[in-house]
Structure 1
Amino acid sequence: MPLPATTAKVIHPGPTTLAYFDEGSGPALVLLPSVGRGPADFDQLTRLLVAQGLRIIRPLPRGIGASQGPMQGLTLHDLAADVAAVIEAEDLAPVAVAGHAFGNFVARTLATDRPELVRGVALVAASTGKTPDGGSPFDPEVLRSVYACGDLSLPRAQRLEHLQHAFFAPGHDPSAWLEGWHPQTKAMQREAETATPVDDFFACGSAPILDLQAAQDTVAPRHLAQFLRQSLGERVTIQVIDNAGHALVPEQPEQVCQALAVWVKRLH
């Protein structure tokens, strides 16, 4: 069952206009989407979490809907500041923040830059950002698929192949993600990620971390599954969801909901 039609709230910090959805009541959780994608990816998850007694805040990244502002020359620090503005506008601090895929980099940057705003960080199908020797954690062919699947100029069949390769576990239908891509936002986020040293956000401040992993994730591979905990210690809790790839949320929404709901309530 889809969510009822919801009107986004809008704020105007600095040169930007930021929109966000605010649903439910109870302990709050801020959800940040994957690269080039918006809060609609969390519609089903939001409905499930609201039913669990949580308040869900879903900011729209710049370039999506009413969220508008400079789109070039940005870093992850700028994108984290956008989320901080939403948290402050709703007087939520400290609040739990969950970042899916690319969103995990924004969540970790927020926890680093503004630790007073963050109660805990959930990393949902999240790349570590680097390997133990400081290199890139990404398989080049998988990364190529991450960006090609949102290339609306490519044929549908080719995009489906890239979606299957990068985001969905074997046997799962990737067609739900043929829509919902925002190329201008994706390009902005890719530039911001490239412009931000991994060590700026790697430690995730000092917040407790739920590392919610997908067992068939090709973007965040299993050989790095213990790296964050080995690096950051006992404040990292690992939970693995089977039969899911990098998309995770549309693949196993009930399991993601249960993990996040238990974690948020424990934080409170």
Structure 2
Amino acid sequence: MSHPYLSHDVAGEGPAVLLLHSSVCDRRMWDPQWRVLIDAGFRLIRPDFRGHGDSAAPLGPHSDAEDVRDLLDELTVDRVAVVGSSFGGRVALEFAARWPERVGSLALLCAGAPGHRPSPSLAAFDDKEDQLIEADDIAGAVELNVSTWLGPDADGNTRAMVRLMQRRAFDVQLAAEEFDALPPPEPPRPARIGAIPVLAVSGAHDFADFREIAASLPHQLPNARHLELPWAGHLPSLERPAEVADLLVGFLRNPV
């Protein structure tokens, strides 16, 4: 469907659910849950952030949260449940902090957080990725991401899927004359998020950063709960798709 910046899909009937992808992936990461959530009675909206999938890289500074707001405005969707994976979870937190009246519930899968300072291990990953890209070893950078972000339960098809999506993101971003990363987003203000029901999921095989972000949210938000998946890496919806689909359907139907 058309939008000035974000390619996206809309399908299904019922309460609106916005699916926000990881920066390693694009909107195709939700393929394993797509039909399950539609059959469960939800209207799904899934965009590609700028510089991912079918969305062009930005020409200058931009806000992914504002892009999401503009997309929902165009679709005349006033209120949504938001499911965000990794970077998509960070955008979901910013969106909920800035426009809490538009969010019915938040499901955060190994989410980042606005203003989070990376640990030495996460910073080391970023440095290694930068080195590979500067050396024009894009295939190496792709493999670094595949091996880093998927947990032990990911099968070969899942690894191939992430490899395809990450390569697409690199190709789109590197083809742009200047891919301008997000400016530092506004930190979430827990008082503004208020009593929105939040499910914060972490993976036991993930970086400590994302585990700590998820575990901290119940201490900041009055209606948040934390669930750690002992089998999961950073992308649980791809690692055990059916289990995460059931988890999401249960939360979206009864978020309180």
Fold-level similarity (TM above 0.5): yes
Aligned to 1:50, the other structure's residue is in SS state helix
Unpaired segments ≥5 residues, structure 2? none
Distance 1:159 1:62, change over 3 A: closer
Q: Does 1:109 align with 2:94?
A: yes
What's 2:207 paired with? 218
CA drift of 1:147 comes to 6.5
In percent, how many aligned pairs have the same letter?
A: 24
Which structure 2 residues correspond to residues 1-268 of structure 1 after superposition, within 5 A? 9-11=1-3, 16-64=4-52, 67-68=55-56, 70-74=58-62, 78-129=63-114, 135-137=117-119, 139=121, 140-144=123-127, 153-154=136-137, 156=139, 159-164=142-147, 166-170=148-152, 172-173=154-155, 174-181=159-166, 182-183=169-170, 184-185=172-173, 191-192=181-182, 195-197=183-185, 200-201=187-188, 203=190, 205-206=193-194, 207-218=196-207, 220-222=209-211, 225-232=214-221, 234-267=222-255
Mean CA deviation greater in 183-192 or 45-54 = 183-192
Distance 1:176 1:17, change over 3 A: closer
Contact map agreement 2:107 2:200 (CA 8 A) in 1? yes
CA drift of 1:264 comes to 1.4
Amino acid in the other structure paired with 1:80: A
Distance 1:100 1:171, change over 3 A: closer
CA drift of 1:214 comes to 1.7
Give the distance between the partners of 2:114 and 2:162, measured in 1 at CA: 24
Contact map agreement 1:34 1:103 (CA 8 A) in 2? yes
CA drift of 1:40 comes to 0.8
Unpaired segments ≥5 residues, structure 1? 1-8
Aligned length: 245
Give the distance between the partners of 2:13 and 2:131, measured in 1 at CA: 38
Give the distance between the partners of 1:225 and 1:176, measured in 2 at CA: 26
Q: What do the CA deviations read for 1:62-81 (whole angstroms, capped 9, x no partner)?
A: 2346544743222xxx2111
Q: What do the CA deviations read for 1:75-134 (whole angstroms, capped 9, x no partner)?
A: xxx211111122222232221011110111111111122222211221111134567xxx
Amino acid in the other structure paired with 1:237: R
CA drift of 1:136 comes to 3.1
Over the aligned positions, Cα root-mean-square deviation in angstroms equals 3.2
CA drift of 1:152 comes to 11
Give the distance between the partners of 2:202 and 2:133, measured in 1 at CA: 23
CA drift of 1:163 comes to 2.0
Q: TM-score, normalised by structure 1?
A: 0.77
Q: What do the CA deviations read for 1:176-235 (whole angstroms, capped 9, x no partner)?
A: 31111212459988821xx215x6226372232110222211264545552222233x31
Amino acid in the other structure paired with 1:93: D
Amino acid in the other structure paired with 2:143: L
Give the distance between the partners of 1:84 and 1:65, measured in 2 at CA: 19
Amino acid in the other structure paired with 1:58: R
Give the distance between the partners of 1:145 and 1:257, measured in 2 at CA: 33
Give the distance between the partners of 1:99 and 1:249, measured in 2 at CA: 11
Distance 1:73 1:219, change over 3 A: farther
